[in-house]
């Protein structure tokens, strides 16, 4: 089956057979592929773990009339997109792309594509996945064809996230080809336009394009020397590394710290119960929904060796989560920005080019939902719909029941008490029992909250 996200590349495409990933290389890419191999570039990228590995294989059939060869490619566990990444994830992906470009240029090649869709995260480190993005540099012309694409897909969102609002990578969902330069310049503060790197890479190209230069003018400006090119790439790397988020607080970014300060015993007892619950089950894939900064994702990851998708709506929580996992070299937690009430949809050509998030995550045999149900109800999602979501697990779920008299509930619903339909514990259990059986049920002292370990019938 041909992957619906790779049809745009004239050099080849990805297909899947028997759960294995293959990349078909067309005859038109033969010269570039041989250069990629013979220049030593491929070996260096493999050695530095910057590019996903592949092996040339003898495929049992001709898959395409333009087929040159077929590669069996190491499978990336999970595909995520830039609008689901935190600031530091996008920053690391941008630096990965630029470092690959530096190495490529010194081997006589260049990246013809510079899009975040060519980067994925394995074990909390970025890796480039498009083997056919490399082409030979000819006629000593070191002008970077993908420069504009890099600026619109990496530089613009990073600048917007740093200078305006960390949530603005979501604009990449509205236009999967990148954030238009003019829109970026409208959204960033005026004074930031005079930062040298912003002026050079965003403001100046916008001014030049507005002058509608003739074709001959444009052609003469496309040829640059190798030293100039390397200087531009190194300057971009230095600038992107210098970008930081502002200190503004997100809605839920400090929620866990506030909770642990207010209810230290509650957090410690919940941690203890989780470890007991996990000892009673065998799991390989967990969805931690509303994971906040991933504290409890870590508990599951360490206690079960499960691969944990740590999913939360809050950008700062995912940022903390990613940076901690990166620092600790945690390999089995994957932080993803995820809006429970509005999950990432299918996008692109015929709404099949970029798959929705549920098509990309491995099926869970544990869904964990801690301190979430009151927020779901507050978003006007009925409790039965919440349970329907929990049924996406193929085996187990751990769900925290929060009674309406809980202080957090009282705070959330203080202006809506008359209109909210909130289930009693008895009603909650009745709904659960329609599709699950209860294995364990414990009160999280010193609160009246309860933790349920349930198994799908």
Whether residue 441 is found in the same domain as residue 298? yes
- Is there a contact between 111 and 146 (Cβ–Cβ < 8 Å)? yes
Can you tell me the distance from the alpha carbon of 175 to that of 156, in angstroms, rounded to the nearest whole number? 13
Whether residue 112 is found in the same domain as residue 225? yes
Can you tell me the distance from the alpha carbon of 321 to that of 313, in angstroms, rounded to the nearest whole number? 12
Tokens at residue 21, please? 């990933």
Say what the pLDDT of residue 63 is.
79
Tokens at residue 399, please? 């769900």
**Least confident segment among 52-66, 263-277, 399-413:** 52-66
Whether residue 148 is found in the same domain as residue 297? no
Average of per-residue pLDDT values in the chain: 92
Say what the pLDDT of residue 280 is.
86
Say what the pLDDT of residue 399 is.
98
- Is there a contact between 391 and 435 (Cβ–Cβ < 8 Å)? yes
Whether residue 318 is found in the same domain as residue 198? no
Query: Which of 43, 73, 103 is the C-terminal boundary of a domain?
Result: 73
**Least confident segment among 114-118, 168-172, 207-211:** 207-211
Whether residue 223 is found in the same domain as residue 365? no
Say what the pLDDT of residue 214 is.
47
- Domain boundaries, position 349: 255-456
Whether residue 206 is found in the same domain as residue 320? no
pLDDT over 90, % of the chain: 86
Can you tell me the distance from the alpha carbon of 76 to that of 70, in angstroms, rounded to the nearest whole number? 18
2 within domain boundaries: no
Whether residue 300 is found in the same domain as residue 444? yes
Beta-carbon contacts of residue 57 (< 8 Å; ≥ 6 apart): 22, 70, 71, 72
For the chain, the domain total comes to 3
- Is there a contact between 331 and 123 (Cβ–Cβ < 8 Å)? yes
248 within domain boundaries: no
Say what the pLDDT of residue 1 is.
86
Whether residue 21 is found in the same domain as residue 153? no
Answer yes or no: is pLDDT of 192 > 70.
yes
DSSP state of 190: G
193-209 pLDDT, tens per residue?
999 999 999 999 988 88
418 within domain boundaries: yes
Say what the pLDDT of residue 212 is.
57
DSSP state of 91: H
What is the number of alpha carbons within 13 Å of residue 165 lying toward its C-beta? 9
Can you tell me the distance from the alpha carbon of 391 to that of 363, in angstroms, rounded to the nearest whole number? 11
217-236 pLDDT, tens per residue?
444 456 899 999 999 999 99
Whether residue 352 is found in the same domain as residue 398? yes
Answer yes or no: is pLDDT of 449 > 80.
yes
Say what the pLDDT of residue 219 is.
47
Secondary structure of residue 452 in the 3-state scheme: strand
212 within domain boundaries: yes
Can you tell me the distance from the alpha carbon of 110 to that of 113, in angstroms, rounded to the nearest whole number? 9
Answer yes or no: is pLDDT of 359 > 70.
yes
Whether residue 50 is found in the same domain as residue 94? no
Beta-carbon contacts of residue 424 (< 8 Å; ≥ 6 apart): 403, 404
3 within domain boundaries: no
Domain containing 371 — which CATH number? 3.40.50.150
Whole-Å CA distances, 434 to 131, 383, 425, 429, 453: 49, 13, 15, 9, 15
Whether residue 435 is found in the same domain as residue 389? yes
Tokens at residue 445, please? 């002292």
Tokens at residue 212, please? 């509608």
Using alpha carbons, select from 16, 12, 130 the residue that is nearest to residue 64.
12
Torsion of CA 360, 451, 298, 390, to 10 degrees: 0
Region 400-417: what's the mean pLDDT?
A: 90
**Where residue 320 falls among pLDDT bands split at 50, 70, 90?**
very high
**Where residue 183 falls among pLDDT bands split at 50, 70, 90?**
very high
**Least confident segment among 149-163, 210-224, 355-369:** 210-224
Can you tell me the distance from the alpha carbon of 195 to that of 435, in angstroms, rounded to the nearest whole number? 58
**Where residue 122 falls among pLDDT bands split at 50, 70, 90?**
very high
Can you tell me the distance from the alpha carbon of 304 to that of 359, in angstroms, rounded to the nearest whole number? 24
**Where residue 247 falls among pLDDT bands split at 50, 70, 90?**
low
Query: Which of 202, 219, 242 is the C-terminal boundary of a domain?
Result: 242
Can you tell me the distance from the alpha carbon of 451 to that of 434, in angstroms, rounded to the nearest whole number? 18
Say what the pLDDT of residue 216 is.
46
Region 43-53: what's the mean pLDDT?
A: 97
Residue indicated by tokens 């690959």 = 100
Answer yes or no: is pLDDT of 251 > 90.
no
Query: Which of 215, 242, 269 is the C-terminal boundary of a domain?
Result: 242
250 within domain boundaries: no
Secondary structure of residue 119 in the 3-state scheme: strand
Region 289-316: what's the mean pLDDT?
A: 95
296 within domain boundaries: yes
Determine how many CB atoms are found less than 10 A away from the CB of residue 426.
7
Using alpha carbons, select from 366, 382, 395 the residue that is nearest to residue 289.
366
**Where residue 84 falls among pLDDT bands split at 50, 70, 90?**
very high
Our CA angle for 407, 408, 411, nearest 5°, is: 85
Say what the pLDDT of residue 62 is.
77
**Least confident segment among 150-164, 245-259, 399-413:** 245-259
131-159 pLDDT, tens per residue?
999 999 999 999 999 999 999 999 999 99
Answer yes or no: is pLDDT of 49 > 90.
yes
Using alpha carbons, select from 124, 185, 123, 131 the residue that is nearest to residue 22.
131
27 within domain boundaries: yes
Beta-carbon contacts of residue 423 (< 8 Å; ≥ 6 apart): 383, 431
Whether residue 314 is found in the same domain as residue 222? no
pLDDT over 70, % of the chain: 94
Say what the pLDDT of residue 61 is.
73
């Amino acid at each position: 089956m041909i992957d619906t996200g790779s049809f745009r590349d004239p050099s080849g495409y990805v297909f899947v057979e028997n759960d294995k990933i293959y990349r078909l290389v067309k005859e038109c890419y033969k010269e570039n592929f041989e250069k990629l191999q013979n220049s030593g570039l491929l070996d260096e990228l493999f050695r530095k773990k910057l590019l996903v590995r592949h092996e040339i294989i003898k495929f049992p059939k001709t898959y395409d009339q333009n087929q040159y060869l077929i590669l069996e490619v190491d499978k990336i566990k999970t595909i995520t997109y830039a609008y689901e990444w935190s600031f530091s994830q996008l920053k690391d992906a941008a630096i990965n792309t630029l470092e690959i470009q530096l190495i490529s240029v010194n081997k006589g090649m260049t990246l013809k594509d510079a899009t975040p869709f060519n980067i994925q995260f394995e074990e909390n480190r970025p890796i480039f996945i498009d083997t056919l993005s490399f082409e030979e540099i000819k006629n000593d012309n070191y002008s970077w064809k993908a420069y504009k694409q890099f600026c619109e897909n990496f530089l613009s969102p990073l600048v917007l996230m740093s200078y305006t609002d960390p949530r603005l990578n979501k604009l990449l969902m509205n236009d999967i080809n990148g954030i238009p330069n003019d829109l970026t310049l409208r959204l960033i503060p005026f004074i930031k336009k005079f930062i040298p790197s912003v002026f050079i890479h965003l403001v100046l190209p916008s001014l030049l394009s507005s002058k509608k230069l003739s074709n001959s003018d444009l052609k003469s400006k496309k040829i640059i020397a190798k030293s100039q090119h390397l200087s531009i790439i190194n300057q971009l790397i230095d600038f992107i590394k210098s970008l930081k988020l502002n200190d503004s607080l997100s809605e839920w970014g400090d929620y866990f710290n506030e909770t642990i300060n207010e209810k230290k015993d509650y957090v410690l007892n919940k941690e203890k119960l989780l470890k007991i619950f996990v000892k009673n089950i065998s799991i390989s894939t967990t969805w931690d929904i509303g994971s906040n900064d991933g504290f409890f994702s870590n508990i599951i990851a360490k206690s079960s060796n499960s691969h944990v998708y740590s999913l939360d709506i809050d950008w700062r929580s995912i940022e903390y989560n990613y940076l901690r996992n990166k620092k600790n070299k945690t390999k089995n937690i994957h932080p993803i920005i995820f809006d429970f009430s509005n999950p990432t949809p299918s996008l692109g050509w015929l709404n099949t080019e970029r798959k929705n998030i549920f098509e990309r995550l491995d099926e869970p045999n544990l869904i964990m939902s801690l301190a979430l149900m009151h927020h779901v109800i507050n978003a006007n999602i009925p409790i039965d719909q919440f349970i329907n979501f929990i049924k996406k697990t193929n085996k187990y779920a751990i769900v925290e029941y929060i009674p309406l008299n809980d202080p957090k509930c009282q705070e959330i619903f203080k202006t809506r008490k008359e209109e909210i339909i909130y289930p009693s514990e008895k009603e909650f259990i009745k709904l659960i029992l329609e599709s699950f059986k209860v294995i364990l049920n414990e009160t999280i002292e010193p609160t009246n909250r309860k933790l349920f370990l349930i198994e799908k019938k």
